[in-house]
Structure 1
Amino acid sequence: MSRRRLEAAEAGHGEGGAGMERWLLTYSDMITLLLALFIVLFSVSTINQKKFEALALGLRETFNPNPGLLPSSNGLLQNASLIPTAGSQTASATQPGNSSQSSTASSSTSASPGQQPLSTIDQQIQAALAAKGLSGLATETISKQGLVVQILSDKVFYAIDSASLGPAGDEVVDTIASVLRTDTNAIDVEGFTDDEPIIGGPYSTNTELSAMRAVNVVVRLYKVDGIDHNRLVALGFGSTHPVVPNTTPANMARNRRVDIVILGPGQQQP
């Protein structure tokens, strides 16, 4: 072999040897990375309680700048859900020292804006009816039900077994509405009859007649007098709630009536 060929062979052998050793560098780098990964995984698997509490405290101070809003919270979700569940409010309301706060909260939210005391509305209705000489066509009573303004049907409707308002009835309802228009109290209009059965006519039962009397008053209150229809409910009770026994014609006349019931602040309609 010539000297030139020998040198070329030695040079080629040297380059091949160097290429064969390069994988050792890559392998050692991979082993180093795996070792670092295992060290990190091992350190994470063992939780230092003090460091964890310090981390939780830092998160709480960062994301909750006003810790006084939730004094019992540590910034993490607790066993008690933040969503109210059945019984949670009842339990807190019955705890000592919470009764006054709960009663104060309920009283502060019971009345809607614009609702007036029943005694004030009563005085205003009496004055309005008296000014027009209509005091004898209605009576006012304050009860647990509310302010009950009874309108005698024999005097304000056209005839017995009729549900149509007459001129006097229109005037009485319009006068009452002039007072109710200025507040937001809920209003129930209740129709009643005596216990005499209906024979003939457009209504087959006293319940139907009483309901139509109430409906006619409700319709006038919101169509003519401008009372918000969301405040109004019409109810027909027939002869089931007499104010006096149906033993005389005078008593039966008292039981044939329409009651406009103004609910007190916070009272709910049926």
Structure 2
Amino acid sequence: MPFRYATTVLLMLVALVATGCGRVVFTPKGGPPQAQPIALSPQQQQQLAATQQQLQQRANALDRDNQELEALLAQSRQQEQLMRDQTVAMQQQLQATTDRLAAMQTDNQKLLADKQQLQNRTQALTASASVQQPVGAEIRANNTLLKPLQSANMAGVSVRQDGDTIRVTIAGDTLFAPGSPQFQPGADQLLRSVASDLMSNYPEHRIGIEGHTDSQTGLSAQYPTPHHLSVAQATVVYEQLRQSFGAAPEQLFVIGHGANHPLVSNATPAGQAQNRRIELVVYPETTRRR
């Protein structure tokens, strides 16, 4: 009987907590329905209210925790989707890079094939040229380039060795009037001195006569480009060598470079003057005279 009574009291307390009131009505077992109010003391009511508040606070805390977990879960799902998208993008980039690499390898193979074909053609042309070398022409070791030239001591003239050739440079302003193939006074004498020195030391060597201008030379209707002027000046030197020394036509040749090969910058008048020049280039190839 005491255990049953205790159970009844506990049920009353639970009902009191649920309803928040200070009275509980219950019906004893076996008896007729009868309201029996139980009065709780103010201290008991306060304790029950405090217990209810604690339970409500815990429920609110659990609700907040649940909301935070849901937010973290949503954020995690977004990050997972972002990572999937990035993975797909990286895979696409990797595929594109692989395709480009394959294309480059194909191009490299084509280039190698073209290079090999060009080398084969060059070798064939070289072999053909060696077989068809004209009688009377030969290539000798150019030890004669070590000879000192008196031209190096002349004003407006410089001499330098360039690989297997020797270059005698004559200042263009010393030879020609500005923008013209006409000789300056005394230029023919200077040219004869230089040519005499060359022909004495290299009587059978091929000699190239190269004309050079600067990029600022004034042009005319007769010489509309720097190339026209450089060819005209080189041709005048060619005729002088032919007439004064009887050089064979096969020994000499003319090249007009225009302003394509400056020695220094054309930004200053001094640089422009240095670029205007005639170069007599002695090659190791010789021509036997008959």
Task: State the TM-score, normalized to the length of structure 1.
Answer: 0.51
Deviation at 1:171, TM superposition (A): 1.6
Matched, 1:195 2:215: yes
Distance, in Å, in 2 between the alignment partners of 1:262 and 1:173 is: 16
| Structure 1: gaps of 5 or more residues | 1-85, 91-108
- 1:137 touches 1:156 (CA, 8 Å); kept in 2? no
- 1:148 touches 1:260 (CA, 8 Å); kept in 2? yes
For 1:184, the equivalent position in structure 2 comes to 204
Once the two structures are superposed, the pairs formed by residues 216-227 of structure 1 within 5 Å of their partners are: 216-227=236-247
**Closer, same or farther: CA 199–188 of 1 in aligned 2, 3 Å:** closer
Greater helix fraction, Structure 1 or Structure 2: 2
For 1:138, the equivalent position in structure 2 comes to 157
Q: 2:232 aligns with which of 212, 215, 238?
A: 212
Distance, in Å, in 2 between the alignment partners of 1:252 and 1:190 is: 17
Matched, 1:160 2:178: yes
Deviations 1:158-190 (A, max 9, x none): x21011222332122211221233321100000
The AA in structure 1 aligned to 2:190 is V
- 2:213 touches 2:276 (CA, 8 Å); kept in 1? yes
Deviations 1:79-125 (A, max 9, x none): xxxxxxx98x98xxxxxxxxxxxxxxxxxx6329xx861121xx133
- 1:117 touches 1:265 (CA, 8 Å); kept in 2? no
Deviation at 1:145, TM superposition (A): 5.6
The AA in structure 1 aligned to 2:240 is R
**Closer, same or farther: CA 156–124 of 1 in aligned 2, 3 Å:** same
Deviations 1:203-252 (A, max 9, x none): 11111000111000011001122222220001000000000010100000
**Structure possessing the higher radius of gyration over alpha carbons:** 2
Once the two structures are superposed, the pairs formed by residues 89-128 of structure 1 within 5 Å of their partners are: 110-111=139-140, 117-120=144-147, 123-126=148-151
Distance, in Å, in 2 between the alignment partners of 1:155 and 1:180 is: 19
Task: State the TM-score, normalized to the length of structure 2.
Answer: 0.47
Coordinate RMSD, CA, aligned: 2.7
Distance, in Å, in 2 between the alignment partners of 1:117 and 1:210 is: 29
Distance, in Å, in 2 between the alignment partners of 1:201 and 1:232 is: 28
Q: 1:149 aligns with which of 168, 191, 195?
A: 168
Deviation at 1:143, TM superposition (A): 0.6
- 1:152 touches 1:254 (CA, 8 Å); kept in 2? yes
- 1:141 touches 1:147 (CA, 8 Å); kept in 2? yes
The 3-state SS of whatever aligns with 1:181 is helix
User: What stretches of structure 1 move > 4 A for 4+ residues in a row?
Assistant: none
The AA in structure 2 aligned to 1:225 is F
